[in-house]
Amino acid sequence: MPTETAMTTQAKQLAHKATARADEYVGFLEPAREWIIINFGETGLIAAYLLLASIVLLVVAKLSKVAFSTLKYVAIPALILAFIGSVMLDY
């Protein structure tokens, strides 16, 4: 069996810390982690973490795109129209 490098050891420690921290909020992560390790091993666990990270990044990217589109098409034109209306209309 090949020896572990410092990087893989650190990655495993970080993954375990993240799983333990997330387990405080969601109770099914530790049994799911154990099931993945039993059925697929450490490489399966790493693949599951990569899949979860990519899904989270995809969701964050879509939410940020919606937020910036809202600013671009709703908030900024509303502020411009409010400014123009306040300058051109009498009190």
Q: How does pLDDT run across 45-81, given as a tens digit for each residue?
A: 999 999 999 999 999 999 999 999 999 999 899 999 9
How many CA atoms within 13 Å lie on the side-chain side of 80? 7
Angle formed by the axes of helices 6-23 and 29-70, to 10°?
Answer: 80
Q: What is the pLDDT of residue 2?
A: 52
- State the amino acid at position 63 in one-letter form: L
Interatomic CA distance for residues 52 and 60, integer angstroms: 12
Its pTM stands at 0.57
DSSP assigned state of 28? T
Q: How many CA atoms lie within 13 A of 45 on its CB side?
A: 22
- Sequence letter at residue 17: K
- 38 conformational bin, left if phi > 0, alpha if psi -120 to 50, beta if neither: alpha
